[in-house]
């Protein structure tokens, strides 16, 4: 089964989401033209001491979305690891939907670069993230 087939199985619910996604309630909502969209519902369980969404939650969904976008580019004998993740917080969230949309900007033979926009349910930009990925030989 190809990596893209696996993504479609996660998207349509044939395969359960990875454990961290299940724990946080992250779900796939789209995969087309190399773009991955994931979302989750935000509530007080995810708040920091200022009663806004904890920054680590933004990172979790951004990392997952960017990771799946890069995963879709891999050959059967390839895996990857994240080398670096950067995030800029733009607007705090206090509930509603958090949506992460990611696209691979560059895919070389050993290194890739992915960007993610995080928006709220109204479409307002709340954060931007980027990731550098390193291609590895698969251990599966």
> Which range among 11-20, 50-59, 84-93 shows the weakest confidence by mean pLDDT?
11-20
φ and ψ of 139, to 5 deg = -105, 5
Task: Determine how β-strand 27-32 pairs with β-strand 78-89.
Answer: unpaired
What pLDDT score was predicted for residue 139? 67
Domain coverage including residue 70: 3-137
For residue 89, the cross-strand partners are 127
What pLDDT score was predicted for residue 46? 96
CATH number for position 94: 3.10.129.10
CA distance 44 to 14: 30
What pLDDT score was predicted for residue 79? 93
8-state DSSP, 46 = G
- In the chain, the number of structural domains is 1
Determine how many CB atoms are found less than 10 A away from the CB of residue 122: 8
Determine how many CB atoms are found less than 10 A away from the CB of residue 82: 15
Decide if pLDDT at 128 tops 80: yes
Chain segment 3-52, per-residue pLDDT in tens: 888 888 988 989 998 999 999 999 999 998 889 999 999 999 999 999 99
12 burial class (0-12, 13-18, 19+ CB within 10 angstroms)?
A: exposed
8-state DSSP, 88 = E
């Amino acid at each position: 089964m190809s990596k893209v087939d696996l993504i479609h199985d996660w998207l349509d619910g044939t395969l359960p989401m990875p454990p961290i996604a299940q724990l946080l309630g992250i779900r796939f909502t789209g995969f087309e033209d190399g773009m991955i969209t994931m979302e989750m519902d935000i509530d007080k369980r995810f708040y920091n001491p200022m009663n806004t969404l904890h920054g680590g939650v933004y990172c979790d969904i951004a990392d997952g979305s960017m990771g799946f976008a890069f995963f879709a580019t891999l050959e059967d004998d390839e895996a990857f690891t994240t080398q670096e993740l950067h995030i800029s917080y733009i607007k705090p969230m206090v509930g509603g939907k958090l949506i992460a949309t990611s696209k691979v900007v560059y895919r070389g033979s050993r290194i890739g670069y992915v960007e993610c926009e995080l928006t709220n349910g109204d479409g307002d930009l709340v954060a931007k993230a980027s990731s550098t990925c390193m291609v590895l030989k698969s251990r599966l």
